[in-house]
A and B are shown apart, each in its own frame.
Chain A
């Protein structure tokens, strides 16, 4: 059974660039941006939040087959990890979730500003409404660019 350790948990819950991919029944991929991640205490599932206006196809795909891939990238160090798994729950965020989302957006904006991006442009990336997606992690991959990219963790 795959378990996320505390080091990886701290990484996944920091101000990273996060994307989520799903796929349709006829194997069309669909990608969208993620705001905020929370690793469950048992270390086996992860909750992420996707922009609701952009999530129509994502939701249809999750209902169809539940397959999920998410990539987490530290834009300052390029450390990257991909998590693959199956969606087990979709729902609305509660006030605690919104604190996670807001903190993630703040930390991400801070990191992007160090790379020269204006905060106003970055804030245009997110919507005001999100959907919560929880998935059980089945595979972990190291995606940091370099000779070991793609290696299972």
Chain B
């Protein structure tokens, strides 16, 4: 394939198209009046095409329709180098893959500030690039801060993910290897719950509070829209993007047209986040969850990082499907009795509320839903039989649990339960003891109370 003869090929300045630093676009009316405006992101389509997102009717598109010549100046967020792109307006798209990709990004941010019904992408304006040049400067530029990624480590990443023998290992290995091999500081993984309507955090790395167990409704906010639209959402400057949507919101409110505006959603994850990269985890055309990376630095994730996250998400998706298929075939385990009596410290009171299966330990909330019901069953069995070893299969088939159709999700729920216990309780532990087997470790005498409402 031959590249267009630009002074700077577009693929070499990919970081300019991540929406980190605003760009500017100049156009000229048929009468010869120039116009200039800011653009929060310029989308690169290929080596000679870009797309501009249009939310409101504006002078730029009116000019480009009358006189197709335009000029865009983009900025490399790492170096501060500026590039001038001479462009020629080609066409407007209001549907299709490009439009979907661009509108998902806008909708995700708008949804976070309660504007998804109001602030939408109107059109994607596609332009051909005829030249790209670096804007001349009269000084040497400082070197970029971001470390170069070593893509030879992708093989090791793939090995770490695909060697996981359990779902718990899979989520742990995936986040650990992304952090160790590529230096990502803040990562979390969410999985789709049994209802298919919500996502829950199954594991996280690099946060003061793990956030494990926190939930997001599919369709709500940046995470929920990424899941619903099955689109990668990469925000190189979250605060700037949210600020833009909030400005639009206040303009609508100020104009007395607040219909359809909903309440702003708290941003989950890192306080003071500047970069957020959200990649759907899919397999066999089914949405399984999300892989999310965050950073306190603007423009932290470039297109090479995007490649790494996509690779990881794909391997995680396939491995999840494989492990779930295997889980259905594992043998029963003979029950074992607890070898020792718990330490004689104060008795811990554990309450189970049947209304929503929430479990409280000494009046502190631990978990609810399916994971809560499973924990309660394990604790009951422990109290009655002093049993500590269980198989996933018996849990899945236990008539007392009346589990919904969660055969695909049980292991993930157990992984969530294990992490919640590590976060919130110092005397109960669940550990994996082999494929499809878990052990419950109890460090205190228990008093179980069921609350029916």
Q: Which A positions have Cβ atoms within 8 angstroms of B?
A: 17, 19-23, 27-33, 51-54, 65, 67-71, 73, 75-80, 82, 84, 115-118, 120-125, 127-129, 141, 143-150
Contact = CB atoms under 8 A, between A and B. Distances in A.
Given A32-B135, A123-B80, A147-B56, A71 B38 contact: yes
Interface stretch (B95-103, B185-193, B237-245, B397-405): B237-245
A23 B248 contact: no
A103 B26 CA distance: 26
B79 A23 contact: no
20 contacts: A19-B24, A19-B26, A23-B32, A29-B28, A31-B26, A82-B37, A84-B35, A115-B298, A116-B237, A116-B239, A116-B297, A116-B298, A117-B77, A121-B79, A121-B142, A123-B80, A129-B138, A145-B56, A145-B251, A147-B252
B38 A30 contact: no
A78 B77 CA distance: 19
Interface stretch (B41-49, B68-76, B160-168): B68-76
A29 B27 contact: yes
B386 interface: no
A19 to B, nearest CB: 4
Nearest to B257: A147
A28 B58 contact: no
Given A54-B137, A116-B239, A121-B79, A145 B255 contact: no
Interface stretch (B81-89, B150-158, B279-287, B359-367): B81-89
Given A75-B240, A76-B243, A127-B137, A143 B86 contact: no
A53 B136 contact: yes
Contacts of A125: 75, 80, 82
A75 B22 contact: yes
Contacts of B145: 118, 120
Contacts of A67: 32-34
A27 B252 CA distance: 35
B247 A33 contact: no
Nearest to A26: B69
B71 A144 contact: no
A118 B62 CA distance: 36
B25 interface: yes
B386 to A, nearest CB: 55
Contacts of A123: 80
B71 A82 contact: no
